[in-house]
Amino acid sequence: MDIYDVEKELSKSNDIKLDYENKIKSFSNTNIFTELFQISFNGKYGIINGCSFCEPTSSTNWDSINGGWGYIMLLTKLLSIKYKFESIKYELVPIGNYSKIIDKDKKIEYELILNDIKLRDKFNVAMMAYLEYLAEFMNYLFKEGKIKVTADDICPRIAGDKINNKSIRIEIGKDKSEDWHQCMKFLLTILKFLILKVLISENEAFQENIENIDIINNINEIKKTNDIKV
């Protein structure tokens, strides 16, 4: 019996069947997404669940970077499932340090694994595919009225392979990593925005319990350090 058989058998038990809508309301003082996913910033680096998006050209940092992308993929997948979003083009497969994105049309797998800086082009393609997925997901949330803001209210903004004109591609050369560091901070800011705003808009129980000051401070910090406009 493999893990899938075990899960199938467990799902038949009335003891573990949970009514999602009722359970979510019981967490009147808890934002479960912020409990599961801790996003922060340390200087020029973005961090999720202790995994820092630090210097990508150093092999000693690859486990942290791969782990961080694993958490990003899991968070995005959970949000997508919660709001019944299915990308036209991509499917996310969050499996920790070995997460990947599947192009459903081309039937190609893009692995979000950085294990050789000489093969960074493959990693770049995977990250760009993720940004395309995220942009599609956010457009869906706006169009369906899942969050009570407009696209113009969000900063940073995604455009192709860039967020606020900073490319997510890893390039080799003097100071080239700086753009990637900033882009990853912008990406984590967007995800933190979604965690807060999406849950606030759909779960009244969170209305008086989620403080927005941290996300506002993070955006203001980015503005100061990067001279961007919100």
Q: What is the CATH number of the domain that holds 156?
A: 1.10.418.40
**pLDDT confidence of residue 209:** 47
Assigned domain for 21 exists: no
Measured distance CA(193)–CA(129) in Å, rounded: 21
* pLDDT at site 67: 96
Residue range 27-45, pLDDT digits in tens: 444 566 767 899 999 988 9
**Assigned domain for 226 exists:** no
Q: Quote the pLDDT of residue 132.
A: 96
pTM of the shown model = 0.75
Kindly state whether residue 15 falls inside one of the protein's structural domains. no
With respect to residue 22, please indicate whether it lies within any of the assigned structural domains: no
**pLDDT tens for the chain, residues 1 to 230:** 444 454 445 444 444 445 544 544 554 445 667 678 999 999 889 999 999 999 999 999 999 999 999 999 999 999 999 889 999 999 999 999 999 999 999 999 999 999 999 999 999 999 999 999 999 999 998 888 877 666 566 668 899 999 999 999 998 876 678 899 999 999 999 998 888 876 676 555 445 444 444 444 455 555 555 544 33
60: in domain? yes
Structural domain contains residue 8: no
Q: At what angle do helices 176-202 and 120-143 cross, to 10 degrees?
A: 30
Total domains present in the chain: 1
Is residue 225 a part of any domain in this protein?
no
- Residue 83 sits in which domain range? 33-214
- The answer to whether 37 touches 98, Cβ cutoff 8 Å, is no
Query: Is 18 part of a structural domain of the chain?
Result: no
